[in-house]
Structure formats: C-alpha cells, structure tokens
Chains A and B, each alone.
Chain A
Amino acid sequence: MAAVKEDAGGRGGGFEGEMEVEAYRRLFPLPYYERHLLESVRPDARPLSSARDTSIAVGAVSSADGSALVKTGETTMLAAIKLEVMSPSQDSPDEGSLAIDFHMPPICSPTVRPGRPAELAPVLSKQLSDVISRSKMIHLKELSLVSGKAAWMAYLDIYCLNADGSLFDVALLSAVAALAHLHIPLVSLNDEGRIIAVSGDPSRKTTREVVNKDKRKLSLNSVPFSLTCLLHKDYILADPTAEEESIMDTPVTVVLDSLDCLVSLYKPGGAALALTSSLKECVSLTRRRVQELRSILDEALQSTEMDED
C-alpha cells in the first residue's frame, strides 16, 4: 500500500510519514479529505458537485397499496403506503389525510440499537411531512370518498434499510415515488355505512355503486425533490456520504419542486457560515439534480406501467 509522504493538513506528529492510507484515513479524517478536496475529487472518485447514482424500483412491497425502493449510492430507503378508511373531520368533510412516518430500524446503521431509537428519525419525519404538505403535491380532496362520511387515511411509512448519508434526500424521493405509484382500490358503500372493497373482477357485477371510479390515481402537480450539500471552507460537496457528514458538519438541504419553485431551505447550524454565493451555488446544484431525479422517476414509473399493461 502506498505510504503518505507529507502532512498536508498541518496536523499530527511526524509518524504520519510511513502510515498506511487506510490508517491515515481513520486517524486524521479531515486532513485526508482536505488533500482530496485540493485535487477537486472525493475518495469515492466523484467530483465535488456530483451526486451518487440513484435507482428507483416502484411496487417493491406487494402487501401495500403503493411502494418504492430507492437507492442512492449505498443509502437505501423503502417507502410503502397503506390505505385505511376514516371519517373526515368536521372542519374538512371532503378531505382525506396523509400520515408520514420515518423509521430507522437497528438494521440500518451500527449507531442505532433496539430500545434506543435514533434521534434523527422523528426529526426527519417532521421535515418530510412539512415538505410534502407545503409543496401542495397532494390534493387531500382526492382522498375523499363520500363527503362528510368517509375518506382515505393514507399511512406512508419510510424505512431506512441502510444509512450512508443524505437520508432526507433519499427518503423524500422514496416517498414521492411511492405516492406516484399508489393504486387506490375500488370501493363501495355497504348498507351499514362502511366502505368495503370491490373485487377487481368485472364479470361479477355488484349491485352496489362504486364510489371512486375515476379516482384511482393521485394527480401529483408539483413534485418536490431535494439535494443536501456540505459546506466546508470554500468547498461545496453535493450528496455527502455518512463518512463525509461525520467529518464536515455544515449541511444545507434545498428542496425545489418540479415547477422550479423553492419549497424549503434548511441549514441546521454548523461551523461554516453560509454566504449568499454558496447558497446560490447549492440552489443551482439542486436545480441540476432535480432534472436528473425527474427523469429517473419518470423512467421507473413508465417501465412498471408497461409491465402492468
């Protein structure tokens, strides 16, 4: 293995001279990274402004009404929606409801243990529901079944299967993909005023009227996408890994929707101060990423539609 010749970070003693690269990386992570940044490259061979490869598979969970498995680099999220029926509230008799929950089970990271849930999980849950409700992506009226009587309660659960940085971005993408994949089952009202499922078989004509014939899919108007960047000195690193997040601690998350409007900008503290110019740079990186993600999502949805036809 190659030995590190000189100390670029200006830290540590003289024994770095003969240290192996892997050991240097673990003992002096910041100088290790800064040496890469000087060359405008990251240890995984990405340029600073590039996000990792992303793949989307919709319909991964057959027991759910809509689902998606999303992978960005090694970060993996599984989102699934289950529909239940509820009585709408008095204030909004013709609206359904969407409940979003983000889970970090112990399998996803060495830092999460059973009985000690990750602090990050409720924070991300809140952020995701804020972004999805503020972006007006979903019309809650579309989740109504019988005004004042019955509406859909959509439970969207997102599970992190492997945590390797940029959790919010991947979670949001999986949530959006699951919502786009959602198939609403045909239902009708029975004599007791309860909603029951109608079997998909058209040959068995039922006497009851189907209440949601033309509301089988949600019409998503402005879909939000996000990109997290790390600020470190003058550098901006897009789509950080878990290792990068642990070394450099100033993340900026920008959420843009598909109409190019800013939905949210989130900079939770950190050592680096965000200058206007670096924020602008983050937004323009996000804009580029949104184009990428849109085409990946469209492709994934199209290929499953062809399978289903």
Chain B
Amino acid sequence: MASPASYALRRHQQQRRRPLQDDNWVRSDGRGFHQCRPAFLRTGAARAASGSAYAEFGSTKVIVSVFGPRESKKAMKYSGIGRLNCNVNFATFSTATRGQESDHKDFSSMLHKALEGAVLLESFPKTTVDVFALVLESGGSDLPAVISCASLALADAGIMMYDLVASASVSCIGNSLIIDPAAEEEDCQDGSLTVAFMPSRREITQLTLTGEWSTGRIHEATELCLDACSKLGEIMRTCLKQAVSSST
C-alpha cells in the first residue's frame, strides 16, 4: 500500500524574525544568554550493548550504545591499531515535521573526528569499537549532545580514553552570543561555534565555526564554550561515579 501524499500541520505559522540590532530580546525558554539547559545523564541505558548512555538537555534527547571491541568488517584492510566506527541516526519523530529515517553521514563523521583524539586506539589492535547514536528528540544542539553522550557511553563500556569529551555550542544572533541554542534559535542564527573539549587535559578535539565572525567574538564564544564544557565534564564525571557506587 503506497501511502498517500500528506502534509504536516504548521504550528508556528511564521518564524519570528527578531530585530537583529536589538539586544533586549528574551529567549523562548526564559534562559539567560549564557545559561545552559539542565543536563540529565545516565549510563547503562541499553543492556544489550557493552556500554551505553542516555542524555537529555532540555528537549534534546539522545541515546548512545557502544559495541566491542569486536571483529572488524571483513572488507576492512588490516590495521595494527583499533578502529572507531561511528553512526548517528535520527528517529522519524525526532523533528517537528516527520522525517525519513536516514543515516546522518555528516554527523557520523563529525562524531568520529571529535572522539578519535580522545580514544586510545592502540589499546584494542585489529578490532573495531562501534559507537551508535539515536537522536530521539531533536531540540537543538544535537551534535554536542551526541558527542558528550557518546564519550560517556565509551567510558561505560570500559574503552580507554585520555579524558572524557564534553561538547557545547554557541550561536551568534545579531549582536548576542547565546550558549546551548534550542532548535528555533538555531533556525535563525547568523553563525555558530561548536567545541568538543577534554576538560582535564584542557585540549580541544574539535572546533567548528560557521558564519561571519570577528576575531574578538570568536575568542569570547570559545571561552563561553570551554567554560560550559568544563562544567558539563564535572556532571559527566559525577554520573560515572554514581553508576559505579550504585552497582557495588
């Protein structure tokens, strides 16, 4: 049965275009410009995996499972060091209008690059560690949420890492810098900066900058991201400690 053509209701008739020069607008969820959404993190969300984690930042909800280290695909060439294989999927109901289930190749490769620098690939030679993510609800800042959640899942699976990877993003709208943007804020942003950061080593594994920025703004936005990542890193550490103390 071919499904007939259908269209989604438009609930927000017009995207509110903000007066760009005005600095006094209020964010839709009432947060301050430099205030992140509350984070909720748990490990052990899917027992079938070697390690897993669930993360919730406001209405952004992601789940990540880690499998392995296990045998690499037959077609893969021999490799003396381990491989990290990342895949990010969006649930059909995760976005405002129903999407098609598809691999997000760009997100998958970004996730891979953000984690690669933190994982000790030499610790599992010739094998592959699979990191699979499913975005259950896309409420903005999806990639940072996936990266943070994935590093938590890797830790839960006992994969050796130099440090946890925490990630955060900043949107530039007019003259304001807002941290941890929600989906509707991302829709009307002029530029964005995403940073993946290892808090204890103070090293950046990935930095993505889009849009037009002045050097001063970049510095300001990077500081904001690093600060948010350090705080998130603490929450992730607490979550892991809790998981260990509750299991013993």
A binding-site residues for B, Cβ under 8 Å: 61-64, 67, 74, 76, 78, 80-89, 97, 99, 101, 103, 105-110, 113-115, 153, 155, 157, 159, 161-164, 185, 187, 194-197, 242
Query: Which of A78, A153, A196 touches B3 (beta carbons < 8 Å)?
Result: A153
Contact between chains at B9 and A187 (CB < 8 Å): yes
Find out whether the CB atom of B48 lies under 8 angstroms from the CB atom of A109: yes
Contact B132 A157 (CB under 8 A): no
Check if B47 sits within 8 Å of A86, measured CB to CB: no
Do B9 and A103 touch across chains, with their CB atoms under 8 A apart? no
Query: If A74-B48, A103-B101 touch, does A157 touch B92 (CB 8 Å cutoff)?
Result: yes
Within 8 A of A (CB), among B82-118: 87, 89, 91-96, 98, 101, 103
Structural contact, B91 and A110, CB atoms closer than 8 A: no
- Considering the chains assembled together, what is the distance between the CA atoms of A88 and B3 in angstroms? 11
Contacts of B137 in A (CB 8 A): 61-63
Q: Please pick, from A84, A85, A163, the residue contacting B48 in the complex, using a CB distance under 8 A.
A: A163
Number of residues from B at the complex interface, CB < 8 A = 41
Residue of B nearest to A242 (CB): B48
Q: Hey, which chain A residues are within 8 Å of B3, CB to CB? A: 97, 99, 153
B152 on the A face (CB < 8 A): no
B11 touches A197 (CB 8 A): yes
In the complex the two chains form, what is the Cα distance from A5 to B27 in whole Å?
68
Is there contact, CB below 8 Å, between B65 and A86? no
Asked if A155 contacts B7 (CB within 8 A), the reply is no
B38 lies within 8 A of chain A by Cβ: no
Question: Besides A76-B46, A108-B46, A157-B93, 6 other CB < 8 A contacts?
Answer: A107-B49, A107-B132, A108-B65, A153-B3, A162-B46, A162-B48
A63 touches B95 (CB 8 A): yes
Q: Is the CB of B134 within 8 A of A161?
A: yes
Q: Per DSSP, are chain B's interface residues mostly helix, strand or loop, or mixed? A: loop
| Chain B residues positioned under 8 Å from A155 (CB to CB) | 92-93, 98
Looking at chain A's contact residues, is the secondary structure mostly helix, strand, loop, or mixed? strand
Per the bound structure, the CA–CA distance linking A208 and B55 in Å amounts to 42
- 1/0 per residue B1-17: CB within 8 Å of A? 00111111111010000
- Chain A residues whose CB sits within 8 angstroms of the CB of B139 once the complex forms: 63
Contact between B49 and A110, CB atoms less than 8 A apart:
yes
What is the CB-to-nearest-CB distance from A201 to chain B, in angstroms, rounded to a whole number?
13
Asked, given contacts A61-B136, A108-B46, A109-B48, whether A82 binds B87 with beta carbons under 8 Å apart, the answer is no
Contact partner of A161 (CB less than 8 A), chosen from B10, B63, B95, B138, is B63
Q: Which of chain A's residues have a CB closer than 8 A to the CB of B64?
A: 107
**Docked complex Cα distance between A75 and B65 (Å):** 15
- Whether A162 and B47, one on each chain, are in contact in the complex, defined by CB atoms closer than 8 angstroms, is yes
Given the complex of chains A and B, what is the CA–CA distance between A59 and B13 in angstroms? 25
Q: Chain B residue with minimal CB distance to A153?
A: B6
* A157 and B91 contacting across the interface, CB-CB below 8 Å: yes
Taking CB atoms, residues of chain A closer than 8 Å to B47 are: 74, 162, 164
- Distance in angstroms from B88 CB to nearest chain A CB is 10
Q: Is the Cβ of B98 less than 8 Å from the Cβ of A84?
A: yes
Which residues from chain A contact B79 at a C-beta distance below 8 Å? none
Whether B134 pairs with A85 at a CB distance below 8 angstroms is no
Contact B6–A84 (Cβ < 8 Å)? yes
A194 CA to B139 CA in the complex, in Å?
27
Q: Return chain A residues, CB-CB under 8 Å to B67.
A: 110
Query: How far is B138's CA from A155's CA once the two chains are assembled, in angstroms?
Result: 18
Known pairs A80-B93, A107-B134; A197 contacts B45 (CB<8 A)? no
Of chain A, the residue at the smallest CB distance from B67 is: A110
On chain B, the residues within 8 Å of A109 by CB distance are 48
Cα of A157 to Cα of B90 in the assembled complex, Å:
12
Confirm or deny: B59 has a beta carbon within 8 angstroms of a beta carbon on chain A: yes
Quick one: which of A74, A85, A157, A185 contacts B7, CB cutoff 8 A? A85
CB nearest neighbor in A for B108:
A114
B12 to chain A minimum Cβ distance, whole angstroms, is: 9
How distant is B44 from chain A, measured CB to nearest CB, in Å? 10
Q: How far is the CB of A21 from chain B (nearest CB, A)?
A: 20
